Structure 1
Amino acid sequence: MEGVFDPAQLRTFLAVAQTLSFTQAAHRLGVRQSTVSQHVRRLEEAAGRQLFSRDTHGVELTEDGEAMLGFARSILEANERAAGWFRGTRLRGRLRFGASEDFVVTRLPEILKGFRREHPEVDLELTVELSGTLHQQLEAGKLDLVLAKRSEERPQGQLVWRDRLVWIGAEGLRLDPGRPLPLIVFPPPGLTRARALDVLERHGRSWRIVCTSGSLNGLVAAARAGLGVMAHTDGLIPPGLVPVPERAGLPELGPVDFVLLYGERQRDTATRAAAERLAEAIMAGPVP
C-alpha cells in the first residue's frame, strides 16, 4: 500500500460515490468514462482495497468505500486550506446562497459551518425556499449560487446528486382506490408538486389537496397525522414516514436531480470566487 492518495483520483471517487454511476461521474467531471475507471482503479490500488462493487445492476460502495468517503473529504479539504494559505488570498465579500428546503436536515448545515470557519470574511446570506422559487430568484439576479432540484424548464446545472421521487405517508395509512388520492403538497411553484400532479393526471388518478404548506415541517406534520400522502425524495424521507406500498397502485414519480447553478449576473470576481469555493465544498461529498 502506497499510503499516498492523488487528489484528482479522490475527486473522481467522490463523484462516483455521489452518482453511483461511472457514466454520470464522467459527465459531471467533464472527462471520459475510461478516465473515471482508471482513477478509481488506481485509487483502489493505492488503498489496497476494493472501494466499489460493480455488477449488472449498478455500482455500490463497499464497506471500505464508505470509510474512504470521510478520508477523501478530509484530504481534499486539507489540500484546499493549504492552497489557500500559500496563495496568500482570503475570500471576502457577500455571497447570496439559496438552498432547497430538502437539504436543511442533511449535511448542508455542516458544510456551511465549515465554509464559515474557513472563510470568515465572506458575508454568507442563506435563503431556504422551494426549488421553483430559487430558480426564479436566481434568474432575477437575487442569488449568486443555488442548490436545488433540476427544473424541466431549466435543464442546466452541475449535478450534485441523483435520486428518485416516491410517495410517502404515515405507517399503516390506508388509501381507498375508489376515492380521490389525498395529497399533501407545497404551494406553486414547487417542482415536486408539479411533478406529482402531472403524473397523476397522465395516469388518470383522481386527487384532492388536503394540506398545503410552504414549510417542509408543516407537510411532514400533516403526513404523520395520517391526512394523506406526499411526494418526496427517496433518500431524504423524514423520520416517522415510510414509502407507500406498491400494492396501493400509485404511479411512479420518476428520477430527480439536485444541481448547483450560478447566477449569470455575478456582481464581482470576489463573489464568483466565493460561490465557486462553496460549490467545491458541497461537491466534496454526498449531501444527504
Structure 2
Amino acid sequence: MLLRTFLAVAEAGGFSEAARRLDLGQSTVSQHVRRLETALSCVLFERDTHSVRLTGDGETMTGFARGILDQQDRALRYFSRPGPRGRVRFGVCEDFLLGHAADVLGRFRGAHPGIDLELSVELSEVLHSRLADGDLDLVLAKRDSGQGVRRDPLVWVGAPGLELVPGEPVPLVLYPEPSVTRARALTALRRNGVQWRIGCVSERLNGLRVALEAGLGIGLFAESVVPDGLAPIAGLPDPGSVTFVLSHRGTVRGSAAALAETILSAQWSRPPLTLRQPPLPRRRPAKARTPPEAPGTPSPAPDTPPRPCRASPPG
C-alpha cells in the first residue's frame, strides 16, 4: 500500500488530491509517505505550503514503484485464475494440426489461461520417440494402437486433372523416413506389384503441397487432412486407413489432463473427399523392361538414369 500511496501523491501533485483518489484520510497518506521514506532512508518529496515536488530520489523511486506494482498485479491475476496451472509439452503431427487441431488448441488456451502450452510439430514417429524419452507429455499423431481420436481412410491425391501414364512408375511425393503414410504408400504399391519412383521428399506439409500442385507426382494423406487444392487420384491400390492416437507416458495429471480432456471431447469433423474421376488402368511394365530389384526398391528401366516426372500435367 505504501508504494501505491507514493505513486498517487506523485501523479496527483499533492497529498489532498491523492487522499481523494485513494479514498483515504490525508493524514493516512502523509503517514504512508513518511514510512516509505524512513524505510528507504531518503526524502521523496520536497514540500512547502503550496506544492509537493518529487526529489531526485523520488523520481528514481517512481520507476521502481511502477515495476514492482506491475509484477504484483500480474502475480495476483495469475494465481486468482480458476482451473489448473502449469505447463504441458504437446506434440502433434503437422497434417493433423493444420487440418483439425488449430481450433481445438485455441479453445483450450481460452479455457485454461493459466496453462502454458509448449507445442512441437514433427513426424509421428519422431514425436512418439520424444514421448518415450520424456521430452513430451502428450502426443497426437498417427499410430496403430492407443487411444484413438479419429480414424480416416488414406487417399491418393494430386493436382486436379493429373493423369498417370500407364506402364510408367508412379511418381510419389512423400515425407522422409520415418513416416507412417510413406510406409503405407510403399507397402500398398509393393503388395500389388505397382512400380514407383520418388518425385519429391519434404519434411514439411507445405513442401509436399507445392510439389503436388506442380504435378510432380501423387501423395498419400488421411482423408480428412488433405490440403486444399488437391484432388483424389483413383485406380491405385487401397492403402487402408490410419488412426490419429493420443499418447502419453504414465498417469496424466494437471495441465496435461486438461489438454487431454479437451482433445478427447472435441468434435473432429471435415467433409470427406469424393472420387471424381474413373479408375485409371494399371499396366505392368513389359517383362524385358523390369530390372532385378530388392523388395521395396523403385524400379526404373535398367541402365536408365532417373527421369523427370512423366505424369501428365493438369490440363
TM-score (structure 2 length as normaliser): 0.57
Shift of 1:233: 0.9
Counterpart Cα distance in 2 of 1:182 and 1:106 = 25
List alignment gaps of at least 5 residues for structure 1: 1-87
TM-align CA RMSD: 1.7
Shift of 1:89: 6.0
Equivalences for 1:150-229 in 2 at 5 Å? 150-151=143-144, 155=145, 157-229=146-218
Counterpart Cα distance in 1 of 2:160 and 2:112 = 44
Residue identity opposite 2:226 in structure 1:
I
Residues 161, 286 of structure 1: 8 Å contact kept: no
Residues 148, 258 of structure 1: 8 Å contact kept: yes
Residues 174, 200 of structure 2: 8 Å contact kept: yes
Counterpart secondary structure, 2:199:
strand
Residue identity opposite 2:188 in structure 1:
V
Greater C-alpha radius of gyration: 2
Counterpart secondary structure, 1:108:
helix
Shift of 1:105: 2.1
Residues 164, 233 of structure 1: 8 Å contact kept: yes
Higher helix share: 1
Counterpart Cα distance in 1 of 2:151 and 2:92 = 16
Residues 211, 222 of structure 1: 8 Å contact kept: yes
Counterpart secondary structure, 1:104:
helix
In the alignment, structure 1 residue 145 sits paired with structure 2 residue 120: no
> Which residue does the alignment assign to 1:135?
128
Q: How many residues align?
A: 189
Query: Structure 2 residue aligned with 1:105, among 98, 106, 123?
Result: 98
Residue identity opposite 1:134 in structure 2:
L
Deviations 1:37-86 (A, max 9, x none): xxxxxxxxxxxxxxxxxxxxxxxxxxxxxxxxxxxxxxxxxxxxxxxxxx
In the alignment, structure 1 residue 240 sits paired with structure 2 residue 229: yes
Residues 100, 225 of structure 2: 8 Å contact kept: no
Residue identity opposite 1:177 in structure 2:
P
Report 1 or 2 for greater relative contact order, CA contacts < 8 Å, sequence distance ≥ 6.
1
List alignment gaps of at least 5 residues for structure 2: 1-80, 270-315
Residue identity opposite 1:129 in structure 2:
E
TM-score (structure 1 length as normaliser): 0.62
In the alignment, structure 1 residue 250 sits paired with structure 2 residue 243: no
Residue identity opposite 2:93 in structure 1:
S
Residues 170, 241 of structure 1: 8 Å contact kept: yes
